[in-house]
Amino acid sequence: MRMAKAAAASSSLVWFLSVAALIHTRTVLSSTASSRCYSAIYSFGDSIADTGNLYYDTEDISPSTYLVLNPPYGDTFFHFPTGRFSDGRLIIDFLAEQIGVPLLKPYLGIKKGKIKDWNSLEGVNFAVGGATALDMSFFAEKGLYDVLVPTNYSLGVQFDWFMDLLPSICNSSSGCKQVFGSSLFLVGEIGGNDFNYLFYLGRPIEEATTYVPLVINKISWAINELINLGAVTLMVPGSIPLGCNPAYLTLLASPNKEEYDKAGCLKWLNKFYGQHNELLQIELDRLRVLYPHVNIIYADYFNAALRFYRSPQQFGFCRDFIKVCCGGGGPYNFNETAVCGEAGAIACDDPSEYIYWDGYHFTEAAYRWMAKALFHGPYTFPKFSFSCITPETSADFNNHLMI
């Protein structure tokens, strides 16, 4: 499967470049988000934030269908598969630990009565592996649903789940505003799959470019809806640098060395996602003007992760950092005939030495570093601030994150 060359990719991004000048006229908010104590987290997104929704959706399906249900997923921290697409914890888990709230329970586990110890005021996770920002009707109209999208749990569906659960969380407009005023809403990362599925099918980048404003509009819609319900603090992550993703480096391999940067990442693909993130930030600026009383925080997952490839040893990653920890061979240890969770795949001895776990998703070690960047680095705008962290959780968190 081959994609357009770098030159073609550059020309296909004319639409992006035509609006890039807007970056220089953005409304720049220099003030730091006010310090808050969060009592709950409500999360929407895809596999980067899924803490078990796909697991509970497919619990009666053979693990061979959804390999994330098989060992060695979860081995590092939980010591068994939890439905997380990693060897251990995700960014959302580290956020919860740092803020001091329980790890988020997946909505489908609550809905199906499988999770009994849920406190409605502690938050819920609605993120699902494979989810898209755009609704399935969009892909169906383009004839792509049956061949493209593995789940129908779009951002709109996740929001419907949230509304379904709302009576269990609060029962009046004033009550909801009080609960949500002390809650953190994580809207994303989502939207990456809307493009990833196209690239996986070998569709041209020009087609993916036309999806960008639609994806951003859908994310903006969800933010608007949540604010209208009383949300005061929303964190909106951008896409990660998927030009460094071992699965896509394998699928979109090129003999042209000029298409790769010094770290071995595909320049045109990172450029696409980087410019998508710029446009997302422009939209967040617009929303900040509309809602000056709301903290809308952009989480720069892209640059927080890009550091790993530029200085891998600084974060404890090995020389073969661009290879997959759990895989079945090939230049990047990613092989579609033996992916992580299948019998032919073998996990490395120390996942903390690797950035990528299974070819598509990061290791717990990489997610931990990204979480630290959100709390202590320049990777949130405005800066994410909180006041209810305990000395014990802070010490435990930082002991694992010392450079």
Tell me which residues are annotated as active site.
47, 358, 361
Could you check whether the bond before residue 364 is cis, i.e. omega within 30 degrees of 0? no
Tokens of 403: 């450079």
Written as one string, the DSSP assignment of 16-48 is HHHHHGGGGG-----SPPPPB--SEEEEE-STT
The stretches of 70-204 forming alpha helices (DSSP H) are 91-99, 107-111, 136-141, 145-148, 155-169, 173-181, 192-200
Q: Tell the residue number behind the tokens 């104590």, with chain if given.
A: 37
Q: Which of 62, 89, 66 is nearest to 78 (CA)?
A: 89
Q: Please identify which residue in the block is written with the tokens 């997946």.
A: 106
CB contact set of 390 (below 8 Å; sequence gap of 6+): 100
Name the token pair of 272. Answer: 């696409």
CB 215 within 8 A of CB 194: yes
Helix (H, G, I), strand (E, B) or coil at 340: coil
